Amino acid sequence: MKVLAIETSGSVTSVAFGEDYKIFAELFLNTELKSSCTLMPAIRSILDCLKQSLSEVDAFATSIGPGSFTGIRVGISAIKGMAFALKKPCIGVSSLEIIATQVIVLNTKIVVVISAGFDRIYTASFKNCRRKLLRETEDRLLSLEEFKNYLKDINENIILVGNASKKCLESISEKTLKEKISLFHENFNFPRASGVLKLAQKTSKTNSNDLYAKYLCTPHYVYKKK
């Protein structure tokens, strides 16, 4: 299945194209320009380079959040517009899970943290077991203090990844807690379209009966639980 995937939930814009878990091309734009200005030219550019047309795409995929409200809307609107016009399915995946797929470290807890503003973060925890990414918590919105209390209850080494990872580590004063935390390389702090593509292919395999019956892309806004 040929998939065109995009990522606009954060400060970067990326587009990827692939088929059956193989990524043919990815375009990554980390500029001050908004995704509303860069997304469609990036899609045209990647399709032109591969000599592909939109009509040849079997499914469209995008991140649905959590992240930038505006960026999420831009991505979902673009993907749904193309999918509706071509009568093709569209697939939505979590931006936190996208980041987690980029961390290839076995048997270590992966905690994704992205900024939500006002000393709050969006976070979720995962673990790579036998090359399979397992989700351990749902996507949550926490204050820095709540997040530190969550980390204290973890009795294993932790990898922090995401654009709030450095800020979270710097906010921790307890030496014993800090010693069990490592930061992943900053190049992997942003969700990428290649990760969207991989998760979309996985979703298409597990939900093949429903995939063509309806559009799955709805914004995934994470709010504080009362």
**By C-alpha distance, which of 223, 221, 212, 190 is closest to 91?**
212
What is the mean pLDDT of the segment spanning 169-185?
A: 94
Residue 130 inside a domain? The answer is yes
- Interval 98-141: pLDDT, tens: 999 999 887 789 999 999 999 999 999 999 887 789 999 999 99
Residue 51 sits in a domain of what CATH number? 3.30.420.40
Mean pLDDT of 214-226: 66
| HSE-CB for 89 with a 13 A CA cutoff | 20
Same domain, 64 and 90: yes
Q: Is the pLDDT of residue 68 over 70?
A: yes
Task: Based on the fold, state whether residues 132 and 78 are members of the same structural domain.
Answer: no
In a domain, 221, yes or no: no
So what's the pLDDT on residue 214?
39
Q: Do residues 71 and 89 share a domain?
A: yes
Instruction: Specify whether 76 is located in the same domain as 36.
Output: yes
Count of structural domains within the chain: 2
What confidence score (pLDDT) does residue 65 get?
92
209 falls in which pLDDT band (50, 70, 90)?
very low
Q: What is the pLDDT of residues 28-65, one digit of tens each?
A: 998 888 899 999 999 999 999 999 999 999 999 999 99
Q: Is residue 37 part of a domain?
A: yes
Tell whether 86 and 154 lie within a shared domain. no
pTM, two decimal places: 0.91
Judged against a pLDDT cut of 80, whether residue 189 lies above it is answered with: yes
Q: Are residues 87 and 73 in the same domain?
A: yes
Considering the domain architecture, whether residues 60 and 31 belong to the same structural domain is answered as yes
Question: Which domain covers residue 151, as residue numbers?
Answer: 103-188
Please report the pLDDT score of residue 111 as a whole number: 98
Residue 215 has pLDDT above 50, yes or no: no
Do 29 and 109 sit in the same domain of this protein? no
Same domain? For 154 and 110 the reply is yes
- 43 and 148 co-located in one domain: no
Residues 197, 140 share a domain:
no
In a domain, 217, yes or no: no
**Average model confidence (pLDDT) for the chain?**
90
Q: What percentage of the chain has pLDDT greater than the value 90?
A: 77
Residues 138 and 72 in one domain: no
Highest mean pLDDT among 71-80, 124-133, 208-217: 71-80
Domain contains 216? no
If pLDDT is split at 50, 70 and 90, which confidence band does 213 have?
very low
Would 14 be classed as within a structural domain?
yes
